[in-house]
Amino acid sequence: MKSVKFCPIFYAKMLFHLKSEKNMIEQIPFFQGLSADDLAKLEAISVVKKYKKGEFLFIEGEEPKWLTFLITGSVKLYKTTANGKEIFIHQLAPMNFVAEVVNFENIPYPASAIFTISGEVLKINYEKFEAQFLTKPEICMKFLKSMAQKIRITTNLLHQELILSSEEKVARFILNHEDLFNELKHTKISSILNMTPETFSRILNKFKTNGLVKLDEKNQILEKNVGGLQEIYSY
């Protein structure tokens, strides 16, 4: 039987990874206040995974296997219609759970999630998390607040699609998602807002003429008239 050679560099890297993962969990605001024992339990049922831009976190219709918490990066949630049209739902920032309602309700993912900026996710075994942590009032309350936030997002989406005019949609997007406006092509933004590229271009030109927004040669926002845009979208 061959003897296994001890490699100090590999061992050091492994220890560093384990310590980094533990420190990462400790630094997540949602889990701050947990005892050392609870943090150890959480670490035992969790794994940190890296994703590159363009990789899917999950796809619409998949069964949820993990409770996922976005540590770094940015994730876009969207639905796809029967004819292949993409309907934008929400852009998720770091330090948030992703679609935790599906875990709580034990239902398939109703939408897809794709990384628009590379990042890391904490993936937690939900069955064990539910048994070990949702019995704790402080964790349960934080979890319920997080789900309530997702319900507000869904309500805002319905409000956008059913009530807002095209001009209100564009004004709202510029006010709330300047980073996405600067990152995405206008054809993509028009798809997100569920309007034709021609309609989006016409509204944007009107906003520029009226001094509501000023763009550079790359169509990135240099200035925006917050007060004027809020007069259009005042909800």
Q: Which two tokens stand for residue 106?
A: 């034990």
- Distance CA(114)–CA(45), nearest Å, equals 24
Question: pLDDT (tens digit, 9 = 90+) per residue, 67-116?
Answer: 999 999 999 888 888 887 777 788 888 988 898 888 888 899 989 999 98
32-63 in b/e burial notation, b at 16+ Cβ within 10 A?
Answer: eebeeeeeebbbebbebeebeeeeebbeeeee
Non-local (6+) Cβ contacts of 138 within 8 A are 33
Same domain, residue pair 68 and 149? yes
Answer whether residue 98 is part of any domain.
yes
Q: Are 88 and 76 in contact (CB under 8 A)?
A: yes
Indicate which CATH number applies to the domain containing 61: 2.60.120.10
Is it the case that residue 29 has pLDDT exceeding 70? yes
Report CA-CA distances (Å) from 204 to 29, 127, 166, 201, 210: 39, 48, 11, 5, 10
- pLDDT tier at 159, thresholds 50, 70, 90: low
Report CA-CA distances (Å) from 134 to 125, 203, 224: 13, 47, 44
Question: pLDDT (tens digit, 9 = 90+) per residue, 174-225?
Answer: 998 888 898 888 988 887 787 889 999 999 999 999 999 999 988 889 999 9
Q: Which of 127, 161, 195 is a domain's end point?
A: 161
Mean pLDDT (the chain) is: 82
Query: How many structural domains does the chain have?
Result: 2
Q: Which of 109, 144, 161 is a domain's end point?
A: 161
Same domain, residue pair 147 and 76? yes
Answer whether residue 121 is part of any domain.
yes
* Domain membership of residue 209 as a residue range: 165-232
Same domain, residue pair 133 and 178? no
